[in-house]
Structure 1
Amino acid sequence: MTELLFRLDPYGHDAQGTVLSSTPEGIVLDRTLFYPRAGGQPGDSGTLRWGTEAGFTHADITEATKGPDGNVLHVPAKGAELPPVGSAVIASLDWNRRHRHMRMHTALHLLCAVMPGIYATGNQIGAEKSRLDFDLPEPPTKEWLTERLNALIAADHKVSERWITEAELDANPGLVRTLSVQPPRGAGQIRLVCIGPEDLPVDLQPCGGTHVRSTGEIGGVEVTKLESKGRQNRRVTLVLKD
């Protein structure tokens, strides 16, 4: 299995890896910083570079996805040259895009926090805008949500993670706040993302995505749209202010 370096350091920009397989459908490395599309968060994009001092070749990577065997597929741009199997490559993220995803993803956790007890029914993270759908007949106003989100951001709460067993999650099902995306099972452990102090968290829920170190790093946000998507389903769209 691909070693997931973004689990150890979501702030890494570049990392060396060895090519395990190489096809136009996707390049598999033994280790990668690229987050594969999952849980509403887009897969990372960037480049792979290989060669010697005499000359380097590179391939643009349009997105990282999960392969059928669970490995990370680095999907090359159409017509890109492919690195040979066994070669060493430098994988470089489109860092600005990834960092915006991290800020957005953390902001969506805060959006859950300002509506405790309300389940999310769908989500989508983007670099320009993101949204959460809620099982909620009458949502608060855009202004109310924007004000409370920015207050939590300004408080600069620490973002941390820890792991629990699947049995511990089964004993505390209220940790799961989303109806559309369930925590991946089978590995025996579930990753929890905690915003705020462990003894009194602002938000605590299973999540496999990438996040910023503290809420202050998100910067200002604005809730720009509230939409009805069914009898009780309400869509909340937000954007970063910079």
Structure 2
Amino acid sequence: MTLPRTDTVVTYPSGDLTSTGTVLHTVPLPDGRTAVVLDRTAFHAVDPVWPDQPADVGTIAVDGRARAVVDAVVGATDGDVFHVGDAPVRTGTEGWSFVVCHLVDDAAGLTPGSPVTVDVDPEARRALSAGHTACHLASLALNEALAPLWTKEVPGDGRGRPDFDRLAIVTSRILPDASRDEYRIGKSLRKKGFPAAELPARLDEIVASANALLAEWVATGAAVSIQRESEGLGDRRLWTCALPGRTASIPCGGTHLRSLAELSGVEIALEAVEAEGALTVVMTTTAHPAF
């Protein structure tokens, strides 16, 4: 069976919840499921390199018969070997094709060349999109609230503030209408000029400052968009939001709201734990839908 030679065309960055496509390739998996690759899809898949956002929930239909997509993961091939959910290279690496693998329990009729329709659950998508948009806003607000603490110059974020989020983040998980980010402040960050010893005593101050910024930003109802070079899964995409004072952009492969007007508020909470010579800070972000 010929392996895909181009990236899957993904339409979820435009907010699409349904798409039509053609089956290009199928891969039986050891657990009995089948990975189905289409030429085009609205389905968001989990990236194994940075698995922050879960897959969409929805169905794939062929000949009028729909069946559940039980998961969706990024697959990759160099033309010789096909990897499902465990690509050895980062998405976008030259010489590789990156595809959405729709995992199904029942692959009857899903054969190469078959036309299919994909439908995504709108409420599940909305909740994860709200969580992801709020996550980006929270990271920018946290960076700005922490900016006065830095004693040395470090690379800035999309608004020019010291990018604590990028320098310290360990894990990020997008949840329905929420997110959870974990930061590690060890020796290397201290050397860059971040005063870790001061942070635990100032958490309440930092949270209050960040939440004040978030309230101001959400109140603007600013537009949110995804800027992209092309429609392929492996092509670079930027989350962009016209925040007061300066538009912010962050590289991102997830799904998002179209406007901050879809939120009534965003709030963060911080928890700090010190162990084995390093400080771990956990930021929990909650997004409140506007309707």
Q: TM class, shorter-chain normalised?
A: 0.7 to 0.9
CA distance in 2, matches of 1:97, 1:104: 11
Q: Which letter maps to 1:210?
A: T
Aligned partner of 2:175 in structure 1 is 126
Q: Residue 35 of structure 1 aligns to a residue in which SS?
A: coil
Q: Residue 114 of structure 1 aligns to a residue in which SS?
A: helix
Unaligned 5+ residue runs, structure 2?
Answer: 1-6, 78-97, 144-161, 186-195
CA distance in 2, matches of 1:29, 1:211: 23
Residues 46-87 of structure 1: per-residue CA shift (max 9 Å, x gap): 001121xxxx322100221111322110011x3564523321
Aligned partner of 1:172 in structure 2 is none
Q: TM-score normalized by structure 2?
A: 0.64
Q: Residue 12 of structure 2 aligns to a residue in which SS?
A: helix
Q: Which letter maps to 2:17?
A: H
Q: Which moved more, 1:92-101 or 1:145-154?
A: 145-154
Unaligned 5+ residue runs, structure 1?
Answer: 165-186
Pairing partner for 2:68 from 54, 60, 63: 60
Root mean square deviation, CA, Å: 2.7
Displacement of 1:97 in angstroms is: 0.9
Aligned partner of 1:234 in structure 2 is 281
Note if 1:194 corresponds to 2:277: no
CA distance in 1, matches of 2:244, 2:71: 34
Pairing partner for 1:73 from 101, 106, 113: 101
Q: Residue 70 of structure 2 aligns to a residue in which SS?
A: strand
Pairing partner for 2:256 from 211, 219, 224: 211
Q: Which letter maps to 1:115?
A: L
Distance 1:134 1:215, change over 3 A: farther
Aligned partner of 2:37 in structure 1 is 28
Note if 1:112 corresponds to 2:139: yes
Q: Residue 21 of structure 2 aligns to a residue in which SS?
A: strand
Aligned partner of 1:14 in structure 2 is 18
Q: TM-score normalized by structure 1?
A: 0.75
Q: Which letter maps to 2:287?
A: L
CA distance in 2, matches of 1:144, 1:82: 55
CA distance in 1, matches of 2:244, 2:9: 28
Q: Residue 135 of structure 2 aligns to a residue in which SS?
A: helix
Note if 1:150 corresponds to 2:215: yes
CA distance in 2, matches of 1:217, 1:111: 16
Q: Residue 101 of structure 1 aligns to a residue in which SS?
A: helix
Displacement of 1:43 in angstroms is: 1.5
Distance 1:41 1:21, change over 3 A: same
Checking the alignment, whether the CA contact within 8 Å between 2:34 and 2:106 is kept in structure 1 is: no
Aligned partner of 2:224 in structure 1 is 159
Checking the alignment, whether the CA contact within 8 Å between 1:43 and 1:63 is kept in structure 2 is: yes
Q: Residue 119 of structure 1 aligns to a residue in which SS?
A: helix
Q: Which letter maps to 2:102?
A: H
Distance 1:93 1:66, change over 3 A: same
Aligned partner of 1:168 in structure 2 is none
Checking the alignment, whether the CA contact within 8 Å between 1:229 and 1:235 is kept in structure 2 is: no
Q: Which moved more, 1:92-101 or 1:138-147?
A: 138-147
Q: Residue 71 of structure 1 aligns to a residue in which SS?
A: strand
Displacement of 1:163 in angstroms is: 5.1
Q: Which of the two has higher C-alpha Rg?
A: 2
Distance 1:229 1:74, change over 3 A: farther
